[in-house]
Amino acid sequence: MTASVDTGETATEGAKAATGNLITVRDLRISFTQHGHDIEAVRGVSFRISPGSTVALVGESGAGKSVIGQAIMGILPASAHIAGGEILFDDPKRPGVVDLAALDPDGRDYRSIRGGRISVIFQEPMTSLSQFHTIGDQISEALFLHRDLPHKEGLKVVEEMLHLCRFPNPAEAVKRYPFELSGGLRQRAMIAMALVCHPALLIADEPTTALDVSVQAQILKLIKELQGELGMAVLIITHDLGVVANLADEVVVLFHGEVMEAGRIRDIFETPQHVYLKGLFGAVPHFDMKPGERLVSPADLERKPDRKPAKPKARRAPTQSGPLLELRDVSKSFVARKGGFWGTSEPERVVAVDKVCFEIRNKECLGLVGESGCGKTTLSKLIMRALGPDSGQILFHRDNTVVDLAQKTEEHGGELNRAVQMVFQDPFGSLNPRMTVFDIIREPLVIHGIGDRQEHGERVQQLMRQVRLDPRFLNRYPHSFSGGQRQRIGLARALALDPNLLILDEPVSALDVSIQAQILNLLKDMQAELGLTYLFISHNLAVVDYVADRILVMCAGRIVESAPREVLFREPVHCYTQALMAAVPYADLERKLDVQSLGAGDGMNPKHWPAPFTIAPNGAMEFLNLGEDHHVLVASGTTEKELRA
C-alpha cells in the first residue's frame, strides 16, 4: 500500500472534511479471508473523534469493535485486510492529514505513529505483558522507540509516568515482573506503557472487563484524570454501558459490523431509537429493578409477534427454611514459597478463608460477593471437597442425614459428589475440545455408572431441552458454539446427576450483556422448575442482586456482612459493602461515579477500617444481628447503637 498524505485531490478534500477532528473514519470496510472467500466483518462504518474527546464503540462480541481498533493501530491479523474506506488522522504535531487505511502497516510512517501518537490498552494485561522482562524494561522500550533519550533519562521518564499512573513506589516498581503485580497494577503498567510517549489518541479495548468493580472504578478514574492532564482523545471499546455512561462524550453502537445508532451520550442514553440499543439497556441488571422484573435481551425484542414473551416471574422465596449446607468456623491457609537466598527464610502462611460461618437454605440462591483474592473460589473448592479445610465443619443435610464434607468419608463419597456440582467461569476452558457435546454431558453418568447408552441418550436430550439448546447439536464440538451456548452446555453437564446444590463460580463474567441476561433468566427459571439450590459467586453486585435471595459479602477471607438482597442494597452497614456499592458504574447519566471521591475512602482496605469493623489480631469478632436477618461482623461487645452512631 502507498501513503496518501495531502498530495492529491482526494487527500486535500479529506483534509478539509477532517478539519477539527483527530480521527475521521469513513465507510470503513474490513474483510477476513477464510478458505479463499472474503467475509466482511466491518461494513461501511463511519464516525469521528475530536481532539480531547472520548468516543465509545459499543456492541457485543463479533460486532467488529476490536477489529476497528486494530485497523486504526495498523495491527490487523494476517487474514484481515481493509477492503474500502478511509481512516483520516489529523495529528496536530504532524503536517497534513494521513489516511491510515492507505499506509503500509509495516512501513516507517506507520511505525512512527503507532505507539507514539496512537497507543492502545488491551483487555488482558497478563497476556499482553512479557513475563520475562521487568515493567521498567517494557515501558522504556516503547519510549526509546519513539524518542531519542539517554538510557538514564529514559528510566526517569518511566518512573514519572508510573507515578502519574498512581503506582505505589514507582522506583521499585520498574524492577518488578508482571507476575508479581495484581491485576489492577498490571493494567496500570499497560496504561503507563501506552501513555509514556504522550499520544494524541488512546484506544482502550475493554480495559476493565477482567477487573473487580473496585479496581475498575480506579482505572476509570485514572483514565479520566490522565486524559485531562495529557489532553488526549480516547476511543474506548466496551460492551459495558455503565463504563460508557461514566467516560464517553459520544457513542457508536455496532451490531454485526454495522452502525445501528450513533450520537451524543445524552441522546443515546435518554432517547435510544434502535431496537438493538433498547435491548442492550434492557439486558443490564441494576439495583432499581422492580419485583418480578426480568432482563430483556435484544433477541427477546426481535422475536416474532405471534410468539408470546415469557411471563415475568416474581422473586421466589425459599419454600423450606431448613439449611442444606452449613459452614462452621471453616478456615484454610496456604504456605507461600520460601524467600531469601536459595529459599532459606521461613515460609509465609497466607490465610485464604478465616473462620467462615454461614448456611445455605434449601431451594434458595445465596449470593457470595467480594474482590479477587478474598477467598470466594477457595471456599467453593472446600465445599466441592477439592480442598480440605484446616479446621471447621462443612455439614451437608440430605435425606435426614448430616455429613461433614470436611471429613474424607468413602461411605458417602459418590453420593456427595452427585449432590454438589459446579459451573465454572470460563465456558470454553471448562469443556474438553476433543469431546462432542453428547459425550461432555453424558460423562458424569458414565463415571457414576448410571444407566446404559440408550438411557444416556434420552437423559442428554432432556438436559439439552432444559437449557434451551437444540438436541440436534449433540454431535458438534465446543468450538462450534458461542460463549453463551457453551455455558449452557456446562450447565447441562452439572445437572446430569440431579444435584441438590449448584455452585456457580462467576458463570456470566466472561459473557456479553445480552448473553448474560439470557443465562441469568435461564438460571432463575431452572431454579423454579427443578427446585435447585444455588451458591452464586460473583464480583458484580448488580448481577447478584438480580438472582440472589440472600447475599454474603466477603473480604480478606471473612464474611463481613450478610442480609436478604433487598435489605443489603437498601441499607449496607459495613464500610467495605458501602465502598463496593459506591464503585459500581451505573448505565445512568444521573448516577455517575464520583471520581473525585473514589479511592479517597479506606473502605476497601481492611487495615484502614474504622474501629467497629477492624479485624482484631486475636480474632475477637462477632456477628451483630441488626434485624431482618441482617448481620454484620464487628468487634466483640459492639452494640447496634454504637455502630449506627
Predicted confidence at residue 393, as pLDDT, reads 93
Answer for the pair 194, 12: CB distance below 8 angstroms, yes or no.
no
Predicted confidence at residue 369, as pLDDT, reads 93
Predicted confidence at residue 315, as pLDDT, reads 44
Nearest-angstrom CA–CA distance, 134 and 124? 17
Looking at the structure, give the CATH architecture of the domain made up of residues 323-335+346-438+483-489+497-644.
3-Layer(aba) Sandwich (3.40)
- The pairs formed by 450-457 with CB atoms below 8 angstroms and a separation of 24 or more are 450/497
Predicted confidence at residue 5, as pLDDT, reads 32
The end-to-end CA distance of the chain, in Å, is 70
If you average pLDDT over every residue of the chain, what do you get? 85
Question: Does the pLDDT of residue 371 top 60, yes or no?
Answer: yes
pLDDT class for 4, splitting at 50, 70, 90?
very low
Question: Does the pLDDT of residue 338 top 60, yes or no?
Answer: no
Q: Which of 168-172, 264-268, 421-425, 606-610 has the highest mean pLDDT?
A: 264-268
Nearest-angstrom CA–CA distance, 119 and 150? 23
Please give the share of the chain, as a percent, with pLDDT higher than 70: 88
* Better-predicted residue by pLDDT, 610 or 502: 502
Mean pLDDT of 520-542: 91
pLDDT class for 336, splitting at 50, 70, 90?
low
C-alpha cell of residue 80: 484481515
Domain with CATH 3.40.50.300 in the chain: 9-129+201-282, 323-335+346-438+483-489+497-644
Mean pLDDT of 92-97: 84
Predicted confidence at residue 309, as pLDDT, reads 42
Nearest-angstrom CA–CA distance, 175 and 178? 10
**Residue 114: DSSP 8-state:** B
Question: Does the pLDDT of residue 122 top 90, yes or no?
Answer: no
Lowest mean pLDDT segment, chosen from 229-233, 315-319, 428-432, 553-557: 315-319
Nearest-angstrom CA–CA distance, 151 and 174? 14
Mean pLDDT of 84-94: 91
Mean pLDDT of 529-539: 92
pLDDT class for 311, splitting at 50, 70, 90?
very low
Predicted confidence at residue 304, as pLDDT, reads 45
Predicted confidence at residue 434, as pLDDT, reads 93
* Better-predicted residue by pLDDT, 40 or 226: 40
Predicted confidence at residue 641, as pLDDT, reads 83
Nearest-angstrom CA–CA distance, 467 and 486? 11
Predicted confidence at residue 345, as pLDDT, reads 63
Which superfamily is assigned to 9-129+201-282 in CATH? P-loop containing nucleotide triphosphate hydrolases (3.40.50.300)
C-alpha cell of residue 201: 489518541
**Phi, psi of 236, deg, nearest 5:** -100, 130
Residue-wise pLDDT for 136-153, tens only, equals: 989 998 888 878 888 888
Predicted confidence at residue 328, as pLDDT, reads 94
pLDDT class for 17, splitting at 50, 70, 90?
very low
The C-alpha cell 466483518 sits at: 41
Residue-wise pLDDT for 454-466, tens only, equals: 999 999 999 999 9
Please give the share of the chain, as a percent, with pLDDT higher than 90: 43
Mean pLDDT of 502-525: 88
Lowest mean pLDDT segment, chosen from 212-221, 224-233, 249-258, 293-302: 293-302
Predicted confidence at residue 215, as pLDDT, reads 78
Q: What is the pTM of this model?
A: 0.82
Predicted confidence at residue 477, as pLDDT, reads 93
Nearest-angstrom CA–CA distance, 613 and 313? 38
Q: Any residues with CB less than 8 A from the CB of 362 and at least 6 apart, and which?
A: 318, 319, 320, 321, 322, 323, 324, 397, 533
Predicted confidence at residue 436, as pLDDT, reads 95
Question: Does the pLDDT of residue 310 top 60, yes or no?
Answer: no
Nearest-angstrom CA–CA distance, 621 and 627? 19
Lowest mean pLDDT segment, chosen from 64-73, 79-88, 382-391, 613-622: 613-622
Residue-wise pLDDT for 191-243, tens only, equals: 888 888 889 999 998 888 767 787 788 788 888 888 888 889 999 998 888 88
Residue-wise pLDDT for 372-418, tens only, equals: 888 898 999 999 988 899 999 999 987 778 888 888 666 656 777 88
Q: Which of 166-175, 183-192, 258-267, 598-607 has the highest mean pLDDT?
A: 258-267
Predicted confidence at residue 439, as pLDDT, reads 95
Predicted confidence at residue 221, as pLDDT, reads 84
Distance set, CA 292 to CA 5, 284, 289, 314, 420 (Å): 59, 15, 8, 4, 28
Predicted confidence at residue 616, as pLDDT, reads 66
Question: Does the pLDDT of residue 343 top 60, yes or no?
Answer: no
Distance set, CA 254 to CA 64, 270, 379 (Å): 7, 18, 40
Answer for the pair 276, 296: CB distance below 8 angstroms, yes or no.
no
Question: Does the pLDDT of residue 37 top 80, yes or no?
Answer: yes
Question: Does the pLDDT of residue 630 top 50, yes or no?
Answer: yes
Nearest-angstrom CA–CA distance, 592 and 583? 10
Lowest mean pLDDT segment, chosen from 1-15, 375-389, 591-605, 608-622: 1-15
